Chains A and B, each alone.
Chain A
Amino acid sequence: MAGAEVIRIQDGRRADPQLCRGRTADGRPCRNRAGASGYCKRHEPGAGRAATPAPSRFEADLERALAFLRRRVTGAYAIDDFGFDPDLTENVLLPILRPLFDRWWRVEQRGLENIPASGPALLVSNHSGTLPLDALMMKLAIYEGTGRHCRLLAADLPFRLPFVGEIARKSGNTLACAEDSTRLLDAGEIVGVFPEGYKGIGKPFRERYKLQRFGRGGFVEVALRTGAPMIPVSIVGAEEIFPMIYNVKPLARLLGFPYFPVTPTFPALGLLGAIPLPSKWIIEYGEPIQTAPFTPDAALDPMFVFNLTDQVREAIQQTLYKNLMSRRSVFF
């Protein structure tokens, strides 16, 4: 919303001869009582300190933070029909992830030029790591690299959960269904999809970097119908963050989760075991696969959809192998 600016209360006060004529660090009128010279003690011309010291970084940050808080408290922010709240995402949710991105996993991006600066694109990525942290990192990576927000498609489980569902929606993600993804692509958004789903993210460690079946190719149908280019994304590093050595299926069934992981540290070390390992990550965006040349009717041809799905899958798998070969070790 445009009304998200700090409203400065200036008019009326300037004319008040009782108040200081100086300005505070950020250019606001000083609210202190004026002395004989028309300035307060702090802003007295010729006083030891400059009348208007340059605003420090702390002060600029403080002003931004307080303006943000006021917007949150008064509800003065806009969301889109899907519930995406850019104000919250850019100021709170993404900054929380930044240390993980920069320091913990030292995410390296390759092929950023393949992501269009505007218009729709469907990012198709491999999925791994027991918890969908690769999706969050991809979201942050796109934002850091292009300034655009990637709208992720997720299973219904996160949206059922309290807090998780709320945050997932507010950060611009939505349910993986044809209606939502079509609507987002038609609106010119970048949409991120993980066709392997639970089969990918919950696979045992020994199968790392082996792409699972790509769903039923629904994402290709949506891309064909909307004419959005498909960009294969290969994420290396996420497989090693929680190496799942065993899946306690009965417990998973009891809790209603798709799997219950046992890693070398979890649940043996309790909550400590939930700290992900600091592997080195590489996210590579491949050459876009254009769908605009095909008519939307192509989505009705199952064989064609199947072949295109395979083409995307193959592109991701090849890049995964290439980047694995070039990696010196898991952690560097």
Chain B
Amino acid sequence: MAKQRVLITGISRFLGGHLARRLEQDPDVGEIFGVDLEPPSVELARTEFVRADIRNPLIVKVLQATEVDTLVHAAVIATPGRAGGRAQMKEINVIGTMQLFAACQKAEKLRKVVMKSTTAVYGSDPTDPSIFPEDVGPASHPRTGYAKDAWEVENYARSFGRRRPDVGLTILRFANFIGPQIDTPLTRYFSLPVVPTALGFDPRIQLLHEDDAIEILVRATREQHPGTFNASGDGVVYLSQALRMAGKIAVPIATPFMNLLGSAVRQTGLVDFSPEQLQFLQWGRVGDVHRLKTMFGYTPRYTTTEALRDFITRSKLAKVFSEEQAEQWEKDLYDFLARLSRRRSAPDAAKV
């Protein structure tokens, strides 16, 4: 049987790069091509880098020349900062994907498309069910930013899937990534010295460890898993809880001021606070991972809490206080109060 030929978009990014590296080690994978505007950040041995813009009609030629049978589309950008503005980001995400799938339609050798999407397509809203299964949509789909892009991009992928039933389409809706190496708005958020949160709200968050994310992408590329899957570690944590585990101090801010602060922080470029992220900070979101575990057949090695702990210990976050300190405080406080109470009760006992 001919070896698998894979094209990866977004090769310069963490997941695209690491996917290519894992595929390189697999003897059953033939040639690997990586498309992006920037060269890969991960060191790659036999992956061929094609500097191309997926928005350019040239992408048709790339697809035909490389004769790939598998396409991994991991180029959808989550933050406007990376692309140089929201307009540019939307251009790359939506128009780029449109072009890419238009090109795919003509690629006759293509048999499989794997798309990296996000649970952000479910939005964050108090009127939605607590846990999203893949086939039940939210009451209203996100209308702004990355989440809207991701939803539109998924729609292009689905309509491509309908036009080319011979191509197996896998859509992976990833929860927030976390890990010692990956750089996301969330990891940067956790690295802030004091962390702004929404006053009176505590969102549930779901996390996927970077190692599990790579493993899921590899399996989706190598195996046959057509369908849409939520991908996250088991379980959820509250944001407040996660911050306490990380030993951070949360600064609750009334929501009307959050937007103001958001735009101020955006100027600094440290953290990207977009409106849909502010919504996320109020209500969070949780996807149902049952299908990933049963149909896709992979249970992430890290649960949400374990992934978070691994991130906290291995990325050496600056903690304001540690567990050991908390234990010491507990002990000291106990000894102090117990002694105090005994001293107070001793004279009473003497009276009797």
A73 at the interface (CB under 8 A from B): yes
A328 at the interface (CB under 8 A from B): no
Contacts of B85 in A (CB 8 A): none
In the complex, residue of chain B having the shortest beta-carbon distance to the beta carbon of A184: B130
B330 touches A69 (CB 8 A): yes
B326 touches A70 (CB 8 A): yes
A83 touches B323 (CB 8 A): no
Residue among A7, A66, A78, A82 making CB contact with B130, cutoff 8 Å = A82
In the complex, residue of chain B having the shortest beta-carbon distance to the beta carbon of A157: B126
Contacts of B327 in A (CB 8 A): 7, 9, 70
- In the complex where A62-B337, A163-B200 touch, is A70 in contact with B330 (Cβ < 8 A)? yes
Residue among B200, B247, B329, B334 making CB contact with A162, cutoff 8 Å = B200
Give A215 to B136 CA distance when docked, in angstroms: 23
B227 at the interface (CB under 8 A from A): no
Contacts of B130 in A (CB 8 A): 81-83, 174-175, 179-180, 183
Report the stretch among B62-70, B92-100, B238-246 that lies at the interface.
Answer: B238-246
B237 touches A175 (CB 8 A): no
A183 touches B131 (CB 8 A): yes
Contacts of B237 in A (CB 8 A): 75, 79
Give A257 to B45 CA distance when docked, in angstroms: 63
- In the complex where A59-B338, A66-B334, A72-B244 touch, is A79 in contact with B236 (Cβ < 8 A)? yes
Give A76 to B238 CA distance when docked, in angstroms: 12
Chain A: number of interface residues, binned into ranges: 35 or more
A83 touches B238 (CB 8 A): yes
B238 touches A79 (CB 8 A): yes
Give per-residue flags for A53-83: 1 if the beta carbon is below 8 A from chain B beta carbons, else 0: 1001011001100110110111111111111
A175 touches B341 (CB 8 A): no
Q: What is the number of contacts between chain A and chain B, taking CB atoms within 8 Å?
A: 109
Contacts of A9 in B (CB 8 A): 327, 331
> A74, A78, A83, A170: which has the most chain B beta carbons within 10 Å?
A74
B335 touches A31 (CB 8 A): yes
Contacts of A112 in B (CB 8 A): none
B330 touches A56 (CB 8 A): no
Give A161 to B198 CA distance when docked, in angstroms: 12
Give A78 to B308 CA distance when docked, in angstroms: 13
In the complex, residue of chain B having the shortest beta-carbon distance to the beta carbon of A156: B127
Give A231 to B137 CA distance when docked, in angstroms: 32
> B202, B236, B321: which has the most chain A beta carbons within 10 Å?
B202
CB distance from A152 to the nearest CB of B (A): 13
A245 at the interface (CB under 8 A from B): no
CB distance from B315 to the nearest CB of A (A): 17
Give A79 to B330 CA distance when docked, in angstroms: 23
A162 touches B255 (CB 8 A): yes
B193 at the interface (CB under 8 A from A): no
Give per-residue flags for B189-206: 1 if the beta carbon is below 8 A from chain A beta carbons, else 0: 000000000111110100
Give A83 to B128 CA distance when docked, in angstroms: 14
A177 at the interface (CB under 8 A from B): yes
A159 touches B335 (CB 8 A): no
The 3 closest A-B pairs by CB, nearest first: A162-B200, A75-B244, A75-B245
Q: 27 interchain pairs (CB within 8 A)?
A: A6-B330, A24-B338, A53-B342, A56-B345, A66-B330, A66-B333, A69-B330, A70-B330, A72-B244, A73-B326, A74-B326, A75-B242, A75-B243, A75-B245, A79-B238, A80-B236, A81-B130, A81-B286, A156-B126, A156-B127, A159-B126, A161-B200, A165-B201, A170-B238, A175-B127, A175-B130, A179-B129
